[in-house]
Amino acid sequence: MNQRWRTIALWVLPIGVALFLGWQVLGSGPNRIGPSGPTVAPRNTAVARMSYGRFLDYVEAGRVTAVDVFDGGRSAVIEAVDPDLDNRVQRLRVDLPGLAPELVNKLKAEGISFDIHPPRTSPPVLGLLGNLLFPLLLIGALVFLARRGNGMPGGPGQAMAFGKTKARFAMEAETGVKFDDVAGVEEAKQDLQEVVTFLKTPERFTAVGAKIPKGVLLVGPPGTGKTLLAKAIAGEAGVPFFSLSGSEFVEMFVGVGASRVRDLFKRAKENSPCLIFIDEIDAVGRQRGAGVGGGNDEREQTLNQLLTEMDGFEGNSGIIIIAATNRADVLDSALLRPGRFDRQVMVDVPDIKGRLSILNVHARDKKLATDVSLEAIARRTPGFSGADLANLLNEAAILTARRRKEATTLAEIDDAVDRIIAGMEGKPLTDGRSKRLIAYHEVGHALVGTLVKAHDPVQKVTLVPRGQAQGLTWFSPDEEQMLVSRAQLRARIMGALGGRAAEDVVFGHAEVTTGAGGDIQQVASIARQMVTRFGMSDLGQVSFEAGNQEVFLGRDLMTRSDGSDRLASKIDGAVREMVQNCYAETVKLVADHRACMDRVVELLIEKESLDGDEFRAIVSEFATIPEKERFSPFLADAEPTTAPEPATAG
């Protein structure tokens, strides 16, 4: 309603000013003469003009029959007989020099009927109000626009509210989210439930001398539920709640960010006890004194004020700050010390139990077929965050509606998983030669991954293009890989090189394609980390990346290395030797199982997609598949922490 009245006022003010100006210029009253004649007259308005001299001639000639004088004797409308028009009466307008006594006497002497119409004057009060109307309208408009900037973003008076905080405030935040709606992060929920318990019953902690943390920092990858946890805290605590983003502190004007921090904590102290949630705090909390800006830029002044307000000379008891970031490594050390953010809560990617509980939450409003097992979906989606799982079920529901089904089946779930991991499905390949080459490439990946014991098992092989890839091979890890062995890393290198090795064995060295470009980049990255970070080469148990830091991460301005040029040459040689040895083993493995590969390629070209069980059944007819440690349903905690990365063919 206030917005509607403000809009009406913005239209009424300029219209009123325009009407007032027109009234002042043109005047008012029934007898005011304008440019085209009298505004109101007792007779019809004159249609022609006559000079004053000719009027006098008409009076002496006896042709004038009536005269109406207006505007204090400055104009008149006459009725005269024109002999040129068969003595018809004509109304004419005459400009008079003034109502002189001689003219009145002459009209009386000639017996001409005349009437003097005095101008109508408005009361003095109305004249005074008319003179004050425009200044009052102007002052009112300025005051209104100045006040408008405080309540409406983007208004002309916004400059007057630069120093005010932009935090959203709620006495009792009705977010619609409770702790029961948050799943998959049980450890984080336990830490945050203590915050809510302290706000509701602080005597439980103060009785034993405990103090609640002043700040809680939620750290984790994107999509793991940090903001959702903050909403749950707001919904459970029942205390005043402030929420804003770290980027809302910083403006282009110096001192605005610090002023907003002061205003935020001032309002928080007035509503204590309360909660303050700052999302993406790395936007304002990066390490000071780094980069090009030096130590006097606006962001650092804002951070200094934030540090002072959180734990400075004046206390802020009753104010609990909750912040979220996925870049805790770039935050200033003063921000992370005890007394400011006392507790860091890791919100990581969920394991199989967490994924199953998350799927149960998001499946409440979904219609699933009876044969759909949420546990099977949880096992197939290692590395998925809570946001990924919510998107998975939503994509499956969209596919269900598109296919005009009443409930989501396993087919929609599988297609949704493939779309999230690899992208939208493209048109099937029609070129026979290209299709066969891509089939050998993908079967090479899958065959090596199946025959190498330390490699993850094959989940799916397909020739259906998705995203930028013309063919895909998925490997699904079966256990929680917190630690990865040297044999597993070498197996991943061999699996990634399986596509190039298949092209080399089948089509010859001269016919290899660019389809292995992404695979080779992945191989180089793994091999270099084995040499420089993990000490898995002949160079010894030494890390050669201790001094390297990325640019603008809040520490070094430029990337640097502590090693010499000779050492860099040795590292390159060790990486090259490792990759060449793995490639030689991969080529031999593919060549020894050429018959098996040909059989699988023919079947893959015919069906275009093979799942892991079908693929292993065919391979088992030609070779002995090494026994791998499969997932056991009794070891529910054994789950991978990274999503399967498909090997792609160009």
Q: Same domain, yes or no, for 7 and 44?
A: no
Order the strands of the 113-116 sheet from edge to edge.
Answer: 48-50, 88-95, 75-82, 64-70, 113-116
pLDDT digits (tens, 9 = 90+) for 464-474: 887 777 888 88
Q: Same domain, yes or no, for 81 and 190?
A: no
Q: Same domain, yes or no, for 520 and 624?
A: yes
pLDDT band, residue 573 (cuts 50/70/90): very high
Query: Is pLDDT of 540 > 80?
Result: yes
Mean predicted confidence (pLDDT) in 376-403: 88
CA-derived radius of gyration, the chain: 43
Q: Same domain, yes or no, for 507 and 417?
A: no
Name the DSSP letter for residue 514.
G
Quote the domain boundaries for residue 392.
352-422
Instruction: Give residues with Cβ within 8 angstroms of 281, minimum separation 6.
Output: 217, 246, 323, 324, 325, 331, 335
Question: What is the C-alpha separation between 249 and 264, in angstroms, rounded?
Answer: 10
Question: What is the C-alpha separation between 169 and 508, in angstroms, rounded?
Answer: 68
Q: What is the pLDDT of residue 104?
A: 78
Q: What angle do CA 623, 626, 628 make, to 5 degrees?
A: 145
pLDDT digits (tens, 9 = 90+) for 4-51: 555 555 555 556 655 555 555 444 443 333 333 333 344 444 457 888
> Any idea what the CATH number is for the domain that residue 42 is in?
3.30.720.210
Q: Same domain, yes or no, for 455 and 593?
A: yes
Q: Which residue has the higher pLDDT, 255 or 527?
A: 527
Q: Same domain, yes or no, for 437 and 399?
A: no
Q: What is the pLDDT of residue 174?
A: 66
Q: What is the pLDDT of residue 578?
A: 93
Confidence (pTM): 0.65
Q: Same domain, yes or no, for 508 and 531?
A: yes
Q: What percent of the chain has pLDDT over 70?
A: 75
What's the per-residue H, E or C state across 234-267?
HHHHCCCEEEEEHHHCCCCCCCHHHHHHHHHHHH
Burial label for 320, CB within 10 Å (0-12, 13-18, 19+), is buried
Q: Same domain, yes or no, for 567 and 610?
A: yes
Query: Is pLDDT of 425 > 80?
Result: no
Domain contains 575 = yes
Burial label for 648, CB within 10 Å (0-12, 13-18, 19+), is buried
Domain contains 427 = no
H/E stretch holding 54 reads helix 52-61
Q: What is the pLDDT of residue 499?
A: 92
Q: What is the pLDDT of residue 633?
A: 32
What average pLDDT does the chain have?
77
Write the DSSP assignment of 103-158 as a string of letters.
Answer: HHHHHHHTT-EEEE-PPPPPPHHHHHHHHHHHHHHHHHHHHHHHHHHHHSTT-GGG
Domain contains 128 = yes
> Any idea what the CATH number is for the domain that residue 531 is in?
1.20.58.760
Query: Is pLDDT of 308 > 80?
Result: yes
Q: Same domain, yes or no, for 463 and 602?
A: yes
Q: How many structural domains compose the chain?
A: 5
Catalytic residues: 442
Q: What angle do CA 173, 174, 178 make, to 5 degrees?
A: 100
pLDDT digits (tens, 9 = 90+) for 154-209: 444 444 555 566 666 666 666 667 777 777 777 788 888 888 888 778 788 888 88
Q: Same domain, yes or no, for 314 and 392?
A: no
Q: Which residue has the higher pLDDT, 365 or 430?
A: 365
Q: What is the pLDDT of residue 291?
A: 54
Contact 452, 592 (CB under 8 A): no
Query: Is pLDDT of 305 > 50?
Result: yes
pLDDT band, residue 342 (cuts 50/70/90): confident
Q: Same domain, yes or no, for 379 and 460?
A: no
Question: What is the C-alpha separation between 611 and 349, in angstroms, rounded?
Answer: 26
Q: Same domain, yes or no, for 38 and 89?
A: yes
Q: What is the pLDDT of residue 611?
A: 86
Domain contains 399 = yes
Q: Which residue has the higher pLDDT, 444 or 126?
A: 444
Query: Is pLDDT of 585 > 90?
Result: yes
Contact 444, 494 (CB under 8 A): no
pLDDT band, residue 560 (cuts 50/70/90): low
Among 161, 183, 214, the domain-final residue is: 161
H/E stretch holding 552 reads none
Mean predicted confidence (pLDDT) in 314-340: 83
Domain contains 8 = yes
pLDDT digits (tens, 9 = 90+) for 251-297: 666 677 788 888 888 888 888 788 888 888 888 888 877 655 544 57
535: left (phi over 0), alpha (psi -120 to 50) or beta: left
Among 289, 313, 346, the domain-final residue is: 346
pLDDT digits (tens, 9 = 90+) for 78-98: 888 877 767 777 888 888 877
Q: What is the pLDDT of residue 17?
A: 56
> Any idea what the CATH number is for the domain that residue 417 is in?
1.10.8.60
Among 422, 446, 477, the domain-final residue is: 422
- The closest alpha carbon to 452, from 424, 436, 430, 475, belongs to 475
Residue type, 457: P
pLDDT band, residue 131 (cuts 50/70/90): confident
Beta bridge partners of 48: 92
Of 80-84, 587-591, 600-604, the poorest mean pLDDT is in 80-84
Q: What is the pLDDT of residue 504?
A: 92
> Any idea what the CATH number is for the domain that residue 303 is in?
3.40.50.300
Mean predicted confidence (pLDDT) in 407-415: 88
Order the strands of the 609-611 sheet from edge to edge.
Answer: 609-611, 458-462, 471-475, 647-649
Q: What is the pLDDT of residue 165?
A: 66
Q: What angle do CA 642, 644, 645 make, to 5 degrees?
A: 110
Of 266-280, 313-327, 345-359, 610-624, the poorest mean pLDDT is in 313-327
